[in-house]
Amino acid sequence: MKGSTLQSLIQLFFADRLQKQLGVSPHTVAAYRDAFRLLLKFASERLSRGPSELRIEDLDAPFLGKFLDYLEEVRGNCIRTRNNRLAAFHAFFQYVSISEPALALHCQRVLAIPSKRHERGPVAFLTEEESAALVAAPSLDAWVGRRDRALLLLAIQTGLRNTELTSLRRQDVEFGAVAHVRCFGKGRKMRCTPLRQDVAAVLKEWLSRQEGKPDDPVFPSSKGGRLSADALQRLVAKHAATARKIYPSLATKKVTPHTLRHGAAMAMLRRGVDLTVIALWLGHESTETTQIYLHADMQLKEKALAHAAPSGAPPDRFRPTDSLLAFLERL
């Protein structure tokens, strides 16, 4: 019996498995789509066949290993990006192993490719002074400058993710007794984030000058559609370059949209906001993710050191009373 083709398996994986059965978010679908776009282009060039002519046997473990090396060595992707691409392929081959039992061994070999361990670098964030310089960078003489100022101000105060910012619609902004924005984050989880009065005022003025329908984006592109991820990256980089002339310390930092999210978290942490509240604010699944900010701020560590002054009492070393505990202690 002839098995399914690679093309049909990929189509079923996205249309049936991801969207109908699992109901994953559009962000996950987009991430997996981009991973397969890169892989199919790579395979097509190496094997001299069109993507629709490729066979699933072509995508074996050694070939996928070469592709992962290509991501790091040629495209310059970080290990985290490499692991994210691999996660997409693992999900696909898990589906194939169920749909096509004859390919089970082939799939097991691919699923055995491990994620690569990596060191987590320090979290990059902007101080409040650097954030103020960034917000002041756009020129308010033009439409695009007023849009960019409102976007940067909202991003710095709310800490919304890149896709949450670009997906924000006019109907998602409320200017009632408690001004706030609604967004769908990872896992299709909706959360409401309150706005400071100054941010709400700037956002209200921006929207009042723009005609639009409730479903229209809050921060449209010059053509009226949603900003792309690349456009948002360029927008932030452009104004960061201008802000560096005003605040030289920005020259030592790579400023991205995610840097603004980190800055929002650090600003709350420095004001004594509880870590669980910050996790809810940012839409983190667990406070373990939020704990990275505790390690990032030297000021917090210096405060902890001030409370750790020696009391004058000699330290009392733990001495196990049980032989088994003593054995474990010596390991």
Within the chain, residue ranges assigned H as helices are 6-12, 26-47, 61-73, 79-99, 104-111, 128-136, 143-158, 162-167, 197-208, 229-246, 257-270, 275-282, 287-290, 292-296, 298-306, 323-330
Confidence check: pLDDT of 315 > 60: no
Q: How far is CA 263 from CA 168, 208, 214, in A?
A: 20, 28, 30
Residue 296 pLDDT greater than 60, yes or no: no
Active site residue 186: yes
SS3 5: coil
Question: Which of 85, 149, 261, 262 is an active site residue?
Answer: 261
Please check the confidence at residue 24 and state whether its pLDDT lies above 50.
yes
Sheet harboring 180-184: ordered strands across? 173-174, 180-184, 190-194
Set 161, 226, 239, 262: catalytic member: 161
* Catalytically annotated residue among 106, 146, 226, 284: 284
Q: Of residues 186, 191, 204, 270, which has the active-site annotation? A: 186
pLDDT tens for residues 154-202? 999 999 988 889 989 999 999 988 899 998 776 667 888 999 999 999 9
Q: pTM for the complete prediction?
A: 0.64
Q: Is 161 a catalytic residue?
A: yes
Q: Mean pLDDT, to the nearest integer, of 213-225?
A: 92
Q: In the predicted model, what is the mean pLDDT of the chain?
A: 86
d(C-alpha 109, C-alpha 92), whole Å: 13
pLDDT tens digit sequence for 30-87: 889 999 999 999 999 999 999 999 999 999 999 999 999 999 999 988 898 999 999 9
| Alpha-carbon dihedral sign for residues 57, 62, 66, 69 | positive
Select from 1.10.443.10, 3.30.365.10, 4.10.640.10, 1.20.1090.10 the CATH code of 128-305. Answer: 1.10.443.10
Q: What are the boundaries of each domain within the chain?
A: 6-111, 128-305
Among 169, 180, 258, 270, the one annotated catalytic: 258
Over residues 208-231, mean pLDDT: 90
pLDDT tens digits for range 114-145: 999 876 666 778 888 999 999 999 999 999 99
**Spatial separation of the C-alpha atoms in residues 116 and 71, rounded to whole Å:** 13
- pLDDT on residue 42: 96
Q: Count CB neighbours of 249 within 10 A.
A: 12
The pLDDT value recorded for residue 191 is: 87
In the residue annotation, 258 being an active-site residue is answered as yes
- pLDDT > 60? residue 225: yes
The predicted structure's pLDDT at residue 324: 74
Q: What's the confidence (pLDDT) of residue 212?
A: 87
Is the pLDDT reported for residue 251 higher than 90? no
Mean pLDDT, range 239-255, rounded to an integer: 89
Say what the pLDDT of residue 1 is: 38
Residue 261 a catalytic site member: yes
Q: Which of 32, 95, 247, 293 is catalytic?
A: 293
Q: How far is CA 43 from CA 33, 35, 67, 291, in A?
A: 15, 12, 8, 40
Position 122 scores a pLDDT of 67
Average pLDDT over residues 209-214: 89
pLDDT for 316 equals 60
Percentage, residues of the chain above pLDDT 70? 85
Q: Is the model's pLDDT at 322 over the cut of 70?
A: yes
Q: Mean pLDDT throughout 11-28?
A: 88
